Structure 1
Amino acid sequence: MDRLDGIRSFVAVVDSGSFTRAGKRLGISNKLVSKYVAALEAQQGITLLNRTTRSLSLTPAGDRFLLAARRVLAAVEELDAQTRADEGTLTGRLLVTAPVSFGEMFVHVLTRDFIETNPGISIDLRLTDRYVDLAAEGFDLALRIGVLADSSLIGRRIGRTESLVVASPAYLAAKGRPRHPDDLREHVNIRDSNAASAHRATFVIEGKAVSVPLPGRITVNSPQAVRRLAMDGNGIAIIPRFVVDRDLAEGRLERLLEGFPGPQLDIQALYLPQPFIPARLTAYLEHLRKNLSPALGKAPPPDS
């Protein structure tokens, strides 16, 4: 048995959850898949999978082996893709993650446009507001907004936005309008836990960056949830401009503290250091860099 057949079979079993589905994915019988995985285990001298009549699960050794196996398959795929790229054709798969609101408003459209012009590419786009470990989870690219926390990743800025302080007309009529960032101490603030510091915000006051506390009883990890709470009059919110542009234009929200700008937020594409960057990743990054800023300038209406 070619060891690569065993690695492909093992990864297919893990991803599909059964030998039968792995066989269908690979175009071989489930018995041959089982044979390949058993031979791989014998070659490695370890048990990779716990097998019962009802389920499969990774052993601790299998869990460690899986990451390396994915890297081997990615490297083989990249060799094939690089050959085709030299011939002018991009091929292969990208696994990409992005924040939910940003992904739903922009990234899925840009991704669709990219694969329409590159039929040899497939992209698995995972939208989540949780922190994704690229190395541990096998992602090629993460799109993030704000401060880069993990310095081990390579970052490329593909766009920029800003956070705005907003509230509904109903809230302002009932509670008054803050005139200075310090006034936020006396208001109800709806906090976004995706921010670098959910309980504080930084403003430029008399030429200096000043951190101001944001007292409040609601903290949520979704800009869209923050937006809806603000529109319903529950408090003051600090939200990326692209999320609330349409609400501001149509009067559902009002911008506050315009004379006290907050920091610009970089929109960054992050990937792992690697000896060479796959041509498909370079092309996708360039597509995002070229097309994101125009898209941000004409933000679609958020879901109501």
Structure 2
Amino acid sequence: MLIDNIRLFLTITEKGSLVAAGREAGLSATTVSERLAALEAHYGVVLFNRTTRSLSLTDEGRTLLNGAKLVLGEIEDLETRIRHGAETLSGPIKVSAPIDIGRSFVSRVISTFTADHPAISIELQLSDGYVDIVGQGFDLALRFGTVTDSTLRTRNLGQFRRIVCAAPSYIARHGTPQTPADLAHHNCLIMRFGTTMDNVWRFGSGKKPLTVTVRGNKIVNDGSLVRQWALEGHGIILKSELDVADDLKVGRLVALLEGYASPPNPLQIMFPPGRAQPRRVRALSEALSSAMAEGQ
């Protein structure tokens, strides 16, 4: 019963409320509340700060969350080895990825991976904004840039440039910017990453890189839509080469200001804190790394 209550605790954490956790688990809110109370009584601590509108983890709750994912993952791996043999992988994996690369690269890897391991189920959530890997229960997340949370473990998938580009139709109407400063006279299509607006574009690789604050008539938190607007000729974008490589290759988009390119950014897999990942998570990480090394 303790293990079942810990699993329910993880569901409450991921869903953010007792009612939502009950729906997910097929239990009434009263039953969820009683089982949470039993878990808190077992450990002699309060796991959630409760208000009428929200739940948030206490320090003890976060400690349990970090350890519970590891322990339950090991239990599931053990059950798989006993029931199906040491080489069988099974169980759920929850993945977060940016929208563009999630729809292309990550989705292709997942399709191949689940075909090879049919006992594994994968939930893929696409978002270009910040995600709380631990709080939202992700087993791994892909993100561009340097990871600022030192508690997370990472695996580097490579270094990739961000490219300023636009459709030939936009360039034909508005001309080609010759320097970064010329972007002030162009319509730039801007991404929003969570609460951060990506309107300060960086150029150059010296000790004092050049920054330009760009403006435009469209802002969105969806990288795929920014790319689509650019393809339709609405403005200039700044995107990872992974997202626009095919468009550049066939001429749907044209790279701009190549002489001012900034250093590449890392693409990393991030994992929650803990001593080890379940075998199925390690296997998916290997599949993603191998696919990227082979050129997708």
Same topology, TM > 0.5: yes
For the Cα contact (< 8 Å) 1:161–1:241, is it kept in 2?
yes
Note if 1:78 corresponds to 2:83.
Answer: no
CA distance in 1, matches of 2:147, 2:47: 36
Q: Tell me the TM-score normalised to structure 2 length.
A: 0.76
Secondary structure of the equivalent of 1:95? strand
Partner of 1:292: 292
Secondary structure of the equivalent of 1:103? helix
Matches within 5 A, 1:180-199: 180-194=179-193, 198-199=198-199
Partner of 2:142: 143
Distance 1:295 1:41, change over 3 A: same
Matches within 5 A, 1:238-253: 238-253=238-253
For the Cα contact (< 8 Å) 1:156–1:270, is it kept in 2?
yes
Q: CA RMSD in A?
A: 3.8
Give structure 1 stretches of 5+ with no counterpart. Answer: 24-29, 50-55, 297-304
CA distance in 2, matches of 1:60, 1:165: 41
| Deviation of the 1:246 alpha carbon | 3.1
Give the residue type in structure 2 aligned to 1:111. I
Partner of 2:100: 101
CA distance in 2, matches of 1:6, 1:245: 47
Partner of 2:162: 163
Q: Tell me the TM-score normalised to structure 1 length.
A: 0.75
Give structure 2 stretches of 5+ with no counterpart. Answer: 13-17
Secondary structure of the equivalent of 1:93? strand
Secondary structure of the equivalent of 2:284? helix
CA distance in 1, matches of 2:61, 2:30: 22
Distance 1:208 1:42, change over 3 A: closer
Partner of 1:211: 210
CA distance in 2, matches of 1:58, 1:230: 40
Post-superposition Cα deviations, 1:97-136, rounded to whole Å, max 9, x if no partner, equal: 1111110111112012112222332222111122111122
Distance 1:276 1:11, change over 3 A: closer
Runs of 4+ in structure 1 over 6 Å off:
30-35, 44-49, 56-64
Distance 1:119 1:211, change over 3 A: same
Partner of 1:27: none
CA distance in 2, matches of 1:19, 1:122: 16
Note if 1:17 corresponds to 2:22.
Answer: yes
Give the residue type in structure 2 aligned to 1:267. L
For the Cα contact (< 8 Å) 1:48–1:59, is it kept in 2?
no
| Deviation of the 1:165 alpha carbon | 1.4
Distance 1:168 1:74, change over 3 A: same
Distance 1:151 1:174, change over 3 A: same
Note if 1:274 corresponds to 2:270.
Answer: no
Secondary structure of the equivalent of 1:135? coil
Distance 1:165 1:6, change over 3 A: closer
Say how many residue pairs are matched. Answer: 282
Choose 81-90 or 160-169, whichever is displaced more. 81-90
CA distance in 1, matches of 2:193, 2:44: 44
Identity %: 32
For the Cα contact (< 8 Å) 1:166–1:256, is it kept in 2?
yes
Post-superposition Cα deviations, 1:32-78, rounded to whole Å, max 9, x if no partner, equal: 989866755665679999xxxxxx99866899759836843651341
CA distance in 2, matches of 1:61, 1:273: 16
Greater relative CO, 1 or 2 (CA 8 Å, sep 6+): 2
| Deviation of the 1:163 alpha carbon | 1.5
Distance 1:69 1:188, change over 3 A: closer
Larger Cα-atom Rg: 1
For the Cα contact (< 8 Å) 1:168–1:233, is it kept in 2?
yes
| Deviation of the 1:247 alpha carbon | 2.7
CA distance in 1, matches of 2:146, 2:59: 31
Distance 1:209 1:197, change over 3 A: farther
| Deviation of the 1:230 alpha carbon | 2.2
Post-superposition Cα deviations, 1:146-178, rounded to whole Å, max 9, x if no partner, equal: 232323311111233321111222322232211
| Deviation of the 1:277 alpha carbon | 3.0
